[in-house]
Structure formats: structure tokens, C-alpha cells
Structure 1
Amino acid sequence: MSAHHHDHHHSGERIGFAFFLNFIFTIIEFVGGVLTNSTSIMADAVHDLGDTLAIGLGWLLDKSGRKSADHRFTYGYRRLSLLGALLNGAILVIINPATKYVGFRASSLLRIKAWLAAKGDSLSKSHNAETGQA
């Protein structure tokens, strides 16, 4: 049987490459959203920024986790990558309901505005019909 080897140094480089690629794409998407005045592109850019920050946190803690043991951390820093996974998971658990709340409030406000606009249009047509205006 052959031994199974992991080359963790290269995985860190790949995470760094993914971070910078995602970061550059996020900037391009922000600029595109501003130039086209598109809220959907800007919203996706914010989403991509969150992904970039998560990848960056994982990359930073992966690099920090390679430090060897010292008098303070006798096991070493290897568990920092686990901390990164825990933090990313906690952030998702917190942000998911917050995002849904903001979206629900925004859609509720849009429905109220649409209802008021329709009611105002209806009142205006009723008033015009009563006064004989077109």
C-alpha cells in the first residue's frame, strides 16, 4: 500500500488564489453595478464580498494554524482552521435570518407603496369622472 500524503502548502496557495480571484470579481461587479445603476448586480456584489471575507478568514486562519507549538500553545495553532469554520458557520446563522428580515421589510414596504399608488390612481380616476375631466 502506498502512503497517503497531503500537501497543505499548496492548498493554502489555492485558497489565496481563490480569495484574490473572488475579491477582484467583487470589485468588478461593484463597478458594473454602479455604472449600470443595477441594484441586483450590487446585491450580488455584496453577496460575493461576503464570500470573499469568508474565504479570506479561512485563508488567514489556515496560514496562522501552521505556526508551531510554543510555551503558550503547546499543541500548536492547528485548531485555528477549526475556529475559522466555526466563525463562518456562526456568521451564516446570524446573517441568514437578518437578511430574510430586511428582505421581508423591504417587500412589505413595496407592497404598501404599490397599494397606496393604486388607491391614489383609483381616487384620481373617480374624481375625474365626477368632475367630467379626462
Structure 2
Amino acid sequence: MFLKTVTAVALTALALPAFAEGDAAAGEKVFNKCKSCHAVGEGAKNKVGPMLNGIVGAEAGKVEDFKYSDALMAKAEEGLVWDEESLTAFLTKPKDYIPGTKMSFNGLRKEEEIANVIAYMATFE
């Protein structure tokens, strides 16, 4: 019994890094929740929210011709970079992560959806 438990824990721990990377194909479906305000891909333009090409790993508040909220710009001045950790926190509850953000979306509830949509956005440079 002990050996089965240790094996299960070890296999779970080994699977976590793969989970963090996400599934870009599944993330494309999740991104449908974002499309009304954001665009990605060739010819992407700002909408209600900024276009998101190159967002993963980018400094916050840098998309040209987009007027960000004062709250987001304050975070940008503090050095916010949209890495996996910050995107995960923001996409979970945008208004908790950046109080005063203009983003009206309440957030994604499932960790898997967040990892997948980040993986999808990462495919757009």
C-alpha cells in the first residue's frame, strides 16, 4: 500500500510541469471567451482590449495605440511582465489582481483553461 501511494504521488508531481505548459489547441477554444474584446494572429488590431500578439513574456502596457487604465499603467511602472505566473493570476480574477482595471471579464475558473489559453496566446509572436 505504501509503495502504491509513493508511486502515485511521484507520478502526479512529474505530471505538473506538463500541465503548466497547457494545450494550445484547447486554448484556442477557451480564447473564444476573449474574442469579443481581444484579437490575436496576423492582422490583429486593438478592440475594447488590446491585441494580444506577443503578450506572453511582454512588459505590461506596451501595445501601441491602446489606452490602458491608470491601474494597469501603475502596475506596468512597477515592472509587471506578463509571464505565466502574472497571466495566471490576472486571468483568474482580473479585478483582484489589478484593482481598477478596465477589463470587465470576471476571470476563468478552471486552472486547465488558464494554462491552455496562455499556451495558445504564446503561439502568437
Answer 1 or 2: higher relative contact order, Cα 8 Å, separation at least 6: 2
When normalised by structure 1's length, the TM-score is: 0.23
The structure carrying a bigger helix percent of its residues is: 1
Q: Between Structure 1 and Structure 2, whose CA radius of gyration is higher?
A: 1
When normalised by structure 2's length, the TM-score is: 0.24
